[in-house]
């Protein structure tokens, strides 16, 4: 028998498409009815298959939630690690790549991310612990890159943890307001977040702000969020809220 070519291995199969259809339908139902309020019959009806056919792909709704979590949360941790591990990158470039990858992942999976955020406590072990570890890893990678930039004088002297939480928050919030029907693409939104984060961390007047307090850090990131809000002030033209 001739072994399959690489191209054939990478080509999505009918099973792959059906599996994704099930996950998409489950995501919508988990958002609409809540994880606890959704049962297997609801998902089977939404996809248009029998319960037996559904069980071929997923043995339970918990396994669907686990798959969604792996697709978003755990992948976010791996992406962040791939950037922060490259110490040869200047901190400002590394932070930009972290933001573009993290925001890009969320913008390409907004429904899945919303489900994971709301339903993580319903995950079975060991998936729950893996999701928590991945989320901590994302934060640690952001903090590490920001602190490296502070130490090198590329960023103002601020609280790296608060800056990281604020930037990740800007990225995560995209899942609730971004819609693909607006006139700003997902790449454009991710780039805007990276720009605002860079402005918020830039040294004042070319100098590092040594001795910054927690209040200073919060104020700086509020300025960045306010700038982003002003940039996206007309939601009717820029974005469309997902249903």
In tens, the pLDDT along 146-166 reads 999 999 999 999 999 999 999
Domains 8-59 and 61-238 alike in fold: no
* pLDDT value at residue 179: 79
CATH number attached to the domain at 61-238: 1.10.357.10
Q: Degrees (nearest 5) of the Cα angle 210, 194, 100? A: 130
Distance CA 147, CA 231 (A): 27
Q: Evaluate the CA torsion angle 142, 99, 28, 57 in order and state its sign.
A: negative
In angstroms, how far is the first alpha carbon of the chain from the final one? Answer: 48
**Residue 204 bridge partners (DSSP):** 207
55-108 pLDDT, tens per residue?
999 999 999 999 888 888 888 888 888 886 676 789 999 999 999 999 999 998
Give Rg (Cα) of the chain: 20
Tokens of 4: 């399959």
172-217 pLDDT, tens per residue?
999 999 876 778 899 999 999 999 999 999 997 745 444 445 565 5
Q: Which residue has the tokens 């962040």?
A: 80
Residue 124 φ/ψ, nearest 5 degrees: -75, 155
* pLDDT value at residue 94: 93
Which of the pair, 220 or 201, is modelled with greater confidence?
A: 201
Q: Are 230 and 173 in contact (CB under 8 A)?
A: no
Distance CA 62, CA 227 (A): 40
- Name the 3-class secondary structure at 153: coil
CATH architecture of 8-59: Orthogonal Bundle (1.10)
Residues near 228 by beta carbon (within 8 Å), at least 6 away in sequence? 170, 192, 193, 196
CA 75 to chain centre: 9
Residue spans of the domains in the chain: they are 8-59, 61-238
Is 0.75 topped by the overall pTM?
no
């Amino acid at each position: 028998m001739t072994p399959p070519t690489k191209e054939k291995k990478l080509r999505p199969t009918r099973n792959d498409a059906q599996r994704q259809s099930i996950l998409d339908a489950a995501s919508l139902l988990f958002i609409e009815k809540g994880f606890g309020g959704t049962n297997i019959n609801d998902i089977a009806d939404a996809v248009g298959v029998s319960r037996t056919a559904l069980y071929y792909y997923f043995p339970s709704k918990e396994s669907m939630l686990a798959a969604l979590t792996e697709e978003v949360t755990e992948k976010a941790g791996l992406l962040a690690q791939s950037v922060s591990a490259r110490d040869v990158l200047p901190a400002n470039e590394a932070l930009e790549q972290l933001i573009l990858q993290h925001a890009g992942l969320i913008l390409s999976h907004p429904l899945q991310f919303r489900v994971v955020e709301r339903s993580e406590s319903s995950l079975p072990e060991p998936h729950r612990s893996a999701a928590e570890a991945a989320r901590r890893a994302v934060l640690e990678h952001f903090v590490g890159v920001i602190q490296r930039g502070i130490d090198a004088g590329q960023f103002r002297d601020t609280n790296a943890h608060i800056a990281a939480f604020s930037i990740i928050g800007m990225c995560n919030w995209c899942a609730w307001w971004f819609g693909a029907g607006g006139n700003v693409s997902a790449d454009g939104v991710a780039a805007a977040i990276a720009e605002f984060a860079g402005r918020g961390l830039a040294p004042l007047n070319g100098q590092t702000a040594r001795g910054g307090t927690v209040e200073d850090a919060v104020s700086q990131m509020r300025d960045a969020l306010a700038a982003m809000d002003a940039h996206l002030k007309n939601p009717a033209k820029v974005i469309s809220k997902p249903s």
